[in-house]
């Protein structure tokens, strides 16, 4: 038998006192000896913590108790004087033994226990003891199934009566035992087939309505727990819905929320309703993105939807199939070494180049500073040599597009009413055109009438109508440009040459007009208690009262009909068909509530996070609820104080052109929607927020984060080139390559011009180390572009530190590695449907051209002996606060991965920590303790790891900037704005000066400028946080997790103790069950301590044991 092997060891001379007791317990032949041993064990275990019980379990305590149970139960009739203490102690020990069910099966004690319960159905005290043991046995699903096959469900269910005041302890034990039995899905299906769901609902309703004194709340909680287990199968959930369970639970929550002492029932009931809410597929024709793009060498997928485009479309009539979706955003293609993190040789070994050396000659052109002769320094001329790349800035790019028939003017959307204080006439710009000429007063008045916001969606000026002034000219004439480094004319011209899949012909007003950073940081939003519960209950009301739901589609990208129709007079108007925009569908649910569905990344059915859309037709001071219902991530910073951003055209034209954080009652939680294909493992989450607009009939834009478009970058680069002094700053914009859609991917070179054409000056220039900066490989990480904007503007500025940096380094900057994704409003992928930051190992020149050529350029720099001193890829992080770096270190990787390699003698250059340490001192938003230098095998294909391993760059980083804000430093509790992001970009550049202290001693000017950094340390300390995720949300995001209940150990212990020290006489006497408070019951248990077991052992003997 199972327990025979324990006896020799327990009886051995070296056995401990506990082992001797357990061995004696199995062999004790008389009642008094067994009671004494049980008394000692109970006192011993009750006096300590769970650690003592776990020690007893490790010494075979569970097996000994099971053997004692079997020996005692074999007697006819059983000796309940012994059996009850054994059952009580077995229940207390068993629920802490994870394998108690398996052990009971092997000992053949399971059915014996069920037989004992059958024999004692009319004895409440004995039945309760049997039920507790059955409950702990059911920790094993196989044990629960075995009991169910032997009619255990029927026996236990019959023990649960309607509302009563008798034998409350036994009723509670029966409900808990039933819940434990329902851990088995086989038992769940059996329970459904026998109508137990209906019975449990009726029992809950009866106990809830008749418990007027609120004395039996634990019974009601236990019934909810039982229903939770019963609905772990789809048939169980369907049965609960069919039996009116959601209506009952909803009514219960409405009562309990406003009744003192019953709040503890609300959360379990809400979670159960969320769990059983019928699943609903999104109202889409396909899960695939509305936009598709034909890929070279890829077969076409005929079932994917192809939208009707506006105007001149750059698209194909069929979708391309994407077979390379990652499992999640951090998953890699599986082309990596499994032992990368733990094997020293794998970490140190440099992989072979992925292309022959002969192919690198094409990148010579990307180092113009090495070949430029600087003739202008000799002639004193300020003009610079022209190049093909320069011609792109001056209009040749637009001419090329005009020759191909692709250039189209862009109408402008989104103007609001002009304030009367600024002009006597009220008008609203509705389009951007490049026409010339003048208008008569009558024509101008007619145009102004057409520019009203309320008619914005139905009337637009023609692009090239003769005799009309340009909309850009009229806007600038009336309001004037006021954004540094931004020119609306340049933006409109750049946007006209941008190639999109849908052929966007409309500009979003915020991108066209510009953005001024908010004055002062904005605080994180304060989460109101139970806000998620309120939103979930509103969602459940949709199911209960469908007649109150409008359910009207007010915007749909797949519908070619005009979405700005005047038919929707009582609805908001939505629009997203502009650069960087993302909103697939908008459905009006209630008068002031809208469900919004995001578009998937091009050529995929996934990656729903980024949103950017226009909304108009609102009423002022009315709260509108927006629900984005197809988010994919399991948690979001929106649960921790983050807000979306809003841009008001009315505010902009009144002199406040800025994105601001907005929204109240923000929460993020799992919903009942699923993809149209109904994949079993797929689920969606809702981001809900409420916006109260300031102005009637305004035109506003809402976005996940501060948008930054490809056209903004192109216009910004032109402004920067115009702003620098060509005699001092060497600034070149070149085309790294063209993207899949044919958009140029710019590469910027910035350094200081030599002071003269002398050999010494040119030698110093051409031997400056390179710093390579990249950004926006993930289109939805717009914060990375704002950080890059700060770096670019600082490097082109007249700041002494910027001048020192230009004299010390040559900067090679690729500010947007994924232009196509940015343009088309994707979140993670390029047009190929792949995450470009997972393609660096073996980039495909056809499908990932920007990565292929960026890596080729780095190979080229390495081949000519100019390996970059620093490489940094700017990113955004959706799960953490602050700004921090990921780097690469052999030692730290071996430490964190638990490798057996001895690192004490391993030598490694610690220079990879220099920049993070400097940033922690000078950058307010930076957190050194959030940095990590682990080289994970799952990140083996990212830019940081590939550049470190293959190119040999010691300081290869990913810089992550939060979407939310900071929880340390002077920005603690504040959300990051564009000013703070741009500051971070400048600070990163400033930190590079610390790398040149030892190599530029001859340049006193650099050293003096570096002292500016040393003299102004920040008074802040980074927090120590190495985890990616925030603490658990204050409200449950998921609803499949177990319902909140009392701690099973303490709750069961207190019930067992009360049953142990009560007699049959007390049970009859206490017909009102548990009317006494828990504290009174505990005191009563203490008073009755050792009532059953006489104190035969002295305290010192217990201590010795």
| Residues labelled as active-site residues | 960
**What one-character-per-residue DSSP string does 571-595 give?**
S-EEE--STT-B--EEEEEETTEEE
CA distance 1004 to 1011: 11
Q: 10 Å Cβ neighbour count for 337?
A: 15
CB 507 within 8 Å of CB 579: yes
Q: Which distant-in-sequence residues (6+ apart) come within 8 Å of 886 by Cβ?
A: 931, 932, 933, 934, 944, 957, 958, 960
Q: 10 Å Cβ neighbour count for 417?
A: 21
Helix 17-27 vs helix 50-58: crossing angle, to nearest 10: 60
Show the tokens assigned to 200: 């449990």
For 762-812, the three-class secondary structure string (H helix, E strand, C coil) is HHHHHCCCEEEEEECCCCCCHHHHHHHHHHHHHHCCCCHHHHHHHHHCEEE
Q: 10 Å Cβ neighbour count for 911?
A: 11
Beta bridge partners of 872: 773, 957
CA distance 1022 to 923: 11
- Name the burial class of residue 345, with classes exposed (0-12), middle (13-18) and buried (19+) by CB atoms within 10 angstroms of its CB: exposed
For 536-573, the three-class secondary structure string (H helix, E strand, C coil) is HHHHHHHHHCHHHCCCEEEEECCCCCCCCCCCCCCCCE
Residue environment code for 194-225, b if the CB has 16+ CB neighbours within 10 A, otherwise e: eebbbebbebbbebbeebeeebbbbbbbbbbb
8-state DSSP, 485:
T
Show the tokens assigned to 140: 């094993």
Show the tokens assigned to 150: 């032997």
Distances (CA, A) of 434 to 133, 390, 459, 742: 83, 23, 18, 24
Beta bridge partners of 750: 731, 811
Q: Among all chains, which residue has been given the structure tokens 């480094």?
A: 485
**What one-character-per-residue DSSP string does 949-960 give?**
III--SEEEEEE
CB 853 within 8 Å of CB 794: no
Q: 10 Å Cβ neighbour count for 77?
A: 7
CB 592 within 8 Å of CB 625: yes
Where is 731: in which H helix or E strand?
strand 729-738
Instruction: Name the residue among 484, 482, 502 with its Cα closest to residue 410.
Output: 502
CA distance 73 to 87: 11
Distances (CA, A) of 431 to 271, 460, 1101: 49, 6, 93
Instruction: Name the residue among 596, 588, 575 with its Cα closest to residue 699.
Output: 575
Beta bridge partners of 932: 886
Cis peptide leading into 77, omega within 30 of 0?
yes
Helix 80-94 vs helix 124-137: crossing angle, to nearest 10: 30
Show the tokens assigned to 302: 């005929």
CB 942 within 8 Å of CB 934: no
């Amino acid at each position: 038998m199972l327990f025979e092997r324990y006896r020799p060891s327990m009886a051995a001379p070296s056995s401990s006192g506990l082992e001797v007791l357990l061995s004696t317990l199995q062999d004790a032949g008389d009642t008094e000896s067994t009671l004494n041993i049980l008394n000692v064990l109970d006192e011993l275990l009750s006096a300590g913590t769970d650690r003592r019980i776990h020690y007893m379990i490790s010494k075979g305590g569970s097996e000994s108790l099971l053997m004692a149970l079997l020996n005692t139960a074999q007697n006819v009739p059983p000796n309940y004087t012994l059996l009850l203490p054994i059952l009580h102690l077995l229940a207390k020990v068993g629920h802490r033994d994870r394998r108690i069910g398996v052990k009971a099966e092997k000992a053949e004690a399971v059915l014996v226990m069920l037989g004992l319960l059958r024999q004692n159905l009319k004895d409440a005290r004995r039945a309760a003891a049997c039920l507790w043991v059955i409950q702990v046995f059911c920790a094993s699903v196989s044990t629960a199934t075995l009991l169910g096959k032997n009619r255990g469900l029927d026996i236990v269910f019959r023990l649960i009566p309607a509302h009563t005041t008798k034998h409350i302890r036994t009723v509670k034990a029966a409900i808990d035992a039933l819940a434990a039995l329902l851990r088995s899905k086989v038992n769940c299906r059996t329970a459904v087939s026998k109508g137990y769901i209906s019975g449990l609902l009726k029992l809950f309703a009866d106990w809830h309505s008749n418990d007027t004194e609120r004395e039996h709340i634990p019974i009601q909680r236990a019934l909810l727990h039982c229903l939770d287990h019963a609905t772990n199968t789809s048939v169980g959930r369907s049965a609960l819905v069919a039996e009116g369970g959601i209506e009952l639970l909803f009514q219960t929550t409405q009562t309990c929320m406003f009744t003192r002492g019953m709040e503890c029932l609300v959360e379990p009931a809400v979670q159960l309703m969320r769990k059983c809410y019928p699943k609903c597929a999104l109202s889409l024709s396909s899960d695939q993105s509305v936009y598709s793009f034909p890929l070279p060498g890829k077969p076409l997928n005929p079932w994917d939807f192809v939208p009707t485009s506006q105007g001149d479309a750059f698209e194909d009539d069929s979708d391309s199939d994407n077979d390379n979706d990652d499992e999640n955003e951090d998953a890699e293609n599986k082309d990596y070494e499994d032992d990368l993190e733990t094997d020293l040789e794998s970490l140190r070994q440099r992989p072979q180049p992925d292309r022959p050396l002969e192919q690198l000659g094409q990148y010579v052109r990307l180092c113009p500073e090495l070949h430029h002769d600087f003739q202008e320094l000799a002639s004193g001329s300020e003009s610079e040599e022209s190049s093909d790349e320069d011609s792109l800035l001056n209009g040749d790019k637009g001419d090329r597009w005009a020759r191909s028939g692709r250039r189209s003017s862009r109408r402008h959307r989104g103007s609001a009413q002009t304030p009367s204080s600024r002009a006597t006439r009220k008008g609203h710009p509705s389009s951007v055109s490049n026409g010339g000429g003048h208008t008569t007063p009558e024509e101008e008045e007619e145009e102004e009438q057409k520019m009203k916001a309320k008619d914005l969606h139905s009337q637009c000026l023609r692009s090239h109508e003769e005799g009309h002034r340009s909309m850009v000219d009229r806007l600038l004439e009336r309001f004037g440009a006021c954004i540094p480094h931004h020119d609306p004319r340049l933006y409109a011209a750049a946007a006209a040459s941008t190639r999109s899949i849908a052929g966007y012909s409309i500009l979003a007003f915020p991108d066209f007009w510009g953005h001024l950073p908010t004055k002062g940081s904005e605080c994180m939003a304060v989460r109101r208690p139970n806000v998620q519960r309120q939103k979930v209950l509103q969602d459940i009301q949709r199911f209960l009262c469908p007649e109150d739901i409008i359910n009207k589609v007010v915007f749909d990208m797949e519908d070619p009909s005009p979405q700005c129709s005047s038919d929707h007079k009582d609805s908001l108007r939505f629009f997203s068909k502009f650069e960087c925009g993302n909103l697939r569908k908008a459905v009006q649910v209630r008068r002031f509530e809208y469900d919004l569905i995001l578009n998937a990344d091009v050529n995929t059915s996934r990656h729903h996070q980024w949103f950017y859309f226009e909304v108009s037709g609102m009423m002022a001071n009315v709260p509108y609820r927006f629900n984005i219902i197809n988010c994919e991530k399991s948690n979001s910073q929106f649960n921790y104080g983050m807000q979306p951003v809003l841009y008001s055209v009315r505010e902009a034209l009144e002199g406040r052109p800025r994105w601001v954080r907005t929204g109240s009652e923000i929460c993020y939680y799992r919903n009942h929607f699923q993809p149209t294909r109904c994949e079993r493992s797929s689920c969606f989450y809702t981001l809900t927020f409420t916006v109260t607009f300031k102005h009637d009939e305004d035109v506003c834009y809402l976005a996940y984060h501060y948008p930054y478009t490809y056209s903004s970058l192109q216009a910004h680069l032109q402004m920067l080139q115009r702003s620098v002094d060509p005699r001092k700053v060497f600034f070149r914009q070149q085309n790294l390559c063209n993207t899949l859609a044919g958009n140029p991917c710019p590469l910027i070179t910035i350094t200081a011009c030599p002071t003269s054409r002398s050999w010494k000056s040119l030698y110093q220039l051409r031997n400056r180390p390179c710093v390579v900066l990249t950004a926006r490989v993930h289109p939805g990480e717009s914060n990375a572009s704002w950080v890059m904007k700060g770096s670019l503007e600082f490097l082109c500025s007249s700041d002494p530190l910027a001048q020192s940096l230009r004299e010390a380094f040559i900067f090679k900057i690729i500010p947007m590695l994924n232009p196509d994704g940015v343009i088309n409003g994707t979140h993670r992928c390029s047009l190929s449907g792949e995450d470009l930051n997972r393609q660096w190992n073996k980039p495909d020149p056809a499908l990932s051209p920007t990565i292929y050529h960026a890596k080729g350029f780095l190979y080229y720099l390495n081949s000519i002996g100019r390996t970059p001193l620093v490489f940094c890829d700017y990113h955004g992080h959706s799960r953490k606060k602050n700004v921090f770096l990921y780097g690469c270190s052999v030692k730290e990787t071996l430490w964190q991965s638990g490798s057996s390699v001895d690192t004490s003698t391993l030598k490694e250059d610690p220079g990879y920590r220099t920049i993070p340490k400097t940033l922690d001192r000078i950058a307010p938003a930076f957190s050194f303790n959030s940095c990590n230098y682990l080289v994970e095998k799952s990140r083996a294909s990212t830019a940081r790891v590939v550049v470190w391993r293959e190119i040999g760059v010691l300081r290869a980083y990913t810089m992550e900037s939060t979407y939310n804000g900071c929880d340390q430093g002077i920005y603690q509790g504040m959300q990051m704005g564009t000013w703070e992001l741009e500051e971070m970009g400048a600070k990163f550049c400033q930190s590079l000066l610390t790398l040149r202290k030892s190599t530029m001693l001859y340049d006193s000017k650099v050293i003096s400028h570096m002292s500016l950094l040393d003299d102004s340390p920040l008074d802040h300390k980074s927090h120590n946080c190495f985890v990616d995720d925030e603490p658990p949300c204050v409200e449950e995001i998921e609803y499949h997790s177990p319902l909140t209940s009392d701690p099973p150990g303490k709750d069961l212990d207190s019930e067992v103790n009360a049953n142990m020290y009560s007699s049959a006489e007390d049970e009859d006497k206490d017909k009102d069950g548990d009317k006494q408070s828990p504290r009174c019951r505990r005191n009563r248990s203490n008073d009755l301590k050792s009532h059953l077991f006489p104190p035969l052992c002295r305290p010192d003997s217990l201590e010795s044991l």
